[in-house]
């Protein structure tokens, strides 16, 4: 919180339009965090304003549902200045969105910026391919990569939280 610091883990997943990759990451991370008993505020946003107010792409909803996760109630939004204070971690799906975040970040912003696959051994700096112009198989492939990334982040953040509370 900008007015008062909330030390709880909070994660914002970011892609370009906030209708494919970041909503899938938000949904998958919620489940991964809950499974580990990690209390975390989780949200997603886009760096662009193309789809403000829209629900996730139907193909993203379908692939998430296939894996037992409901993301249909999410609504696309664009990253805001306050997000850089409100979240402990802002995680981008690719280099272009990470650079976009860095350019928007206020100098005194407190969020730590990273890419999703930075937490996966041997995959640091790798992007999550945007499935938007692809078919159902592209969404499934993106889901698999995203799920691997969020599982690794959930583990990392669980360890960080344990160290902070020790």
* Catalytic positions: 15, 21, 130
Q: Which residues contact 26 (CB under 8 A, 6 or more apart)?
A: 13, 42, 43, 44, 71, 74
Cβ distance 131 to 142 under 8 Å? Answer: yes
User: What is the torsional sign of CA 33, 34, 40, 43?
Assistant: positive
Give the chain's count of helices (H) and strands (E).
Answer: 5, 4
Cβ distance 52 to 58 under 8 Å? Answer: no
Cβ distance 141 to 131 under 8 Å? Answer: yes
**Strands, DSSP E only, in the chain?**
9-15, 40-46, 89-92, 112-115
Tokens of 78: 């664009």
The DSSP 8-state label assigned to residue 47 in this structure reads S
């Amino acid at each position: 919180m900008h007015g008062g610091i909330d030390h709880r883990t909070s994660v914002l997943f970011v892609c370009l339009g906030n209708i494919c990759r970041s909503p899938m990451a938000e949904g998958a991370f919620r489940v991964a965090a809950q499974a580990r008993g990690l209390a975390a505020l989780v949200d997603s946003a886009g760096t662009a304003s193309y789809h403000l107010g829209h629900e996730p792409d139907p193909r993203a909803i379908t692939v998430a549902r296939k894996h037992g996760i409901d993301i249909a109630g999410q609504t696309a939004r664009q990253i805001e200045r306050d997000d850089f204070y409100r979240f402990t971690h802002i995680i981008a799906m690719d280099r272009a969105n990470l650079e976009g975040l860095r350019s928007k970040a206020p100098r005194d912003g407190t969020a730590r910026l990273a890419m999703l696959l930075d937490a996966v051994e041997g995959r640091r700096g790798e992007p999550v391919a945007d499935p938007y112009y692809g078919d159902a198989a592209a969404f499934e492939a993106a889901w698999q990569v995203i799920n691997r990334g969020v599982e690794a982040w959930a583990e990392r953040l669980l360890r960080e939280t344990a160290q902070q509370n020790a």
